[in-house]
Amino acid sequence: MREQFDEATWAELPEFLANLPEPVRLIVWGDEAKSRTEQQAVELAHFLAAEFGPIRCELLPRRVNYDYYPVIGVMRDEQDPTGEISAQDHGVRIIGLPAGYQMTALIAAIQAVSFRGMTLEAKTRIQLKGLQSTVRLELITDADDEAGGMMAHLIFSLAAASPFIRSHLIMGDQFPEAVWRYSVDRIPHMVVNGRRHITGVIEEGKLMKEIAAAVMAEKQ
């Protein structure tokens, strides 16, 4: 599992993951017997859980409503007054085996969920409180896309901060069907509610405007 991390990411893992404010659960949907990537996703989740106390992992079977595997869900564990622990799903998903720069995207997802998206600007958090319609953000990237890792941190933070946002990162180099489906010619490429397309890096305020426009279009 060590070989999946570059030197810089490996060196920073303890700082990023050892002291998370709230525990996180990695849920892997897949079948280890079906493909090597699904097996590696399970190994990755087990490794992170073994190395860092605030992280747990769980393997679930394939689901009929997922097109590609493996799927890694990042959820926050919460304890109710009776002491029972349950996973709180923020809709944060990594579709495919994170590799290259997208290993940092997985770390960003874990941090965003544990910190509840607290790195977002105050204006963004106010705008998110007014959101009442579900928004789906799909980010298509690949292992060599450094900008994709940057955008992943933003969309995962939005999902962690709002129950109405679902953020999926798709490894386009592993699933070219997703690239063809959305006619992607440059990455990172984001699709909002399956209709609005954004290519390249977009800053937080502009993305919120795109989300607002997508919500308005759904109502018309």
pLDDT in tens, 150-191: 999 999 999 999 999 999 999 999 999 999 998 999 999 999
User: At a CB cut-off of 8 Å and minimum separation 6, what does 15 contact?
Assistant: none
Mean pLDDT of 31-53: 93
Q: How many angstroms separate the CA atoms of 156 and 74, rounded? A: 10
Q: How far is CA 203 from CA 1, 93, 110, 174, in A?
A: 33, 21, 21, 27
- Supply the pLDDT for residue 1: 64
- Tell me the CATH number at 75: 3.40.30.80
CA distance 126 to 116: 14
In angstroms, the Cα distances linking 68 to 47, 111, 168, 191, 212 are 23, 24, 12, 17, 29
Residue reference for tokens 């996973």: 87
Q: Which contiguous run of DSSP H or E holds residue 29?
A: strand 24-29
How high is the pLDDT of residue 115?
95
Which domain covers residue 107, as residue numbers? 2-219
Q: What percent of the chain has pLDDT over 90?
A: 78
Bridge-based pairing state of the strands 165-171 and 55-60 = unpaired
Token pair of 25 as six digits: 């659960």
Q: Give the mean pLDDT of 194-203.
A: 94
* pLDDT at residue 153, as a whole number: 96
Cα(103)–Cα(27) distance, integer angstroms: 16
CA–CA distance, 115 with 27 (Å, rounded to integer): 18
Question: Shortest CA distance to 1 belongs to which of 58, 55, 39?
Answer: 39
Backbone angles phi, psi at 100, to 5 degrees: 60, -130
The number of folded domains in the chain is 1
| Residue 38: pLDDT over 80 | yes
- Average pLDDT of the residues in 211-217: 91
pTM of structure: 0.93
